[in-house]
Amino acid sequence: MSKLFRAVILGPPGSGKGTISERVASIFGLQHLSSGDFLRQNITANTEAGILAKAYIEKGALVPDHVMTRLMLPRLEEMTRHSWLLDGFPRTLAQAEALNSACDLDVVISLNIPLETLKERLRHRWIHPASGRVYNMCFNPPRVQGVDDITGEPLIQHEDDKPEALVARLRHYKDVAKPVIDLYRAKGILHMFSDTETDRIWPYVSSLLSAKIPTDHADAQRATTH
């Protein structure tokens, strides 16, 4: 079997991690592992980690590192036969160090988006709380205004996507993410992409992954995941 491919995508809230991850998953056949989605599944299933995490998420705080690593590392161990792209984890240096000791990463994609652009995008972000599906009233609006395409249930806006909370949240992200970015830069696996539009970043991400992922491997992944 050809070598498995391990990637991480980093970026502030609203930088397009989810949007780019979905494209990578469908085009390159990597499994998209989102820590936020996984937390929401654990909350719905009332697991021990889900119960612990819920209070933090509701406050808009980060879930403690030991809860996150206890949740995510076993999930990654289950993925021994798949290539994956991790989105939302690691978020802190402690999480990055825990991930380091569990596996070798091939590539880290880091999205560098201007603050004004992030503020504008998040102002228009609406989500379907049960599934975590994300809409943007300008970029990818729902088919019917205010309701989820799949379930028809109402969409809500995160308290912390509202303008008052946004600036503090983005500043906090920057402080926490800097040592993580520095670590990956020092390891020589960091690839930084700067622009205001996902559609302009995407061709560069796509050519990076095309160069790094052997084609036969991408085909094999697609065959097992679809």
Ligand X SMILES: Nc1nc2c(ncn2[C@H]2C[C@H](O)[C@@H](COP(=O)(O)OP(=O)(O)O)O2)c(=O)[nH]1
Ligand Y SMILES: Nc1ncnc2c1ncn2[C@@H]1O[C@H](COP(=O)(O)OP(=O)(O)OP(=O)(O)O)[C@@H](O)[C@H]1O
Nearest CA among 42, 34, 35, 87 for reference residue 65: 35
Distance CA 169, CA 12 (A): 9
Q: Interaction with ligand Y in 73-102: which residues (CB under 6 A)?
A: 88-89, 91, 95
Binds 138, which of ligand X, ligand Y, none (CB < 5 to 8 A, cut-off by type)?
Answer: ligand X
DSSP 159: G
Q: How many CA atoms lie within 13 A of 67 on its CB side?
A: 19
Binds 68, which of ligand X, ligand Y, none (CB < 5 to 8 A, cut-off by type)?
Answer: ligand Y
Binding mask of the shown chain, residues 33 to 52, with x at each position contacting ligand Y by CB under 6 A: --xx--x-------------
Pick 65 or 106: Cβ nearer ligand Y: 65
Please state at what angle helix 65-77 crosses helix 35-44, rounded to 10 degrees.
100
117 annotated ligand binder: no
Q: How many CA atoms lie within 13 A of 25 on its CB side?
A: 18
Residues forming the site for ligand Y (CB under 6 A): 13-14, 17-18, 35-36, 39, 56-57, 61-63, 68, 88-89, 91, 95
| Binding footprint of ligand X on the chain (CB under 6 A) | 11, 13-19, 121, 125, 134, 136, 138-140, 197-199
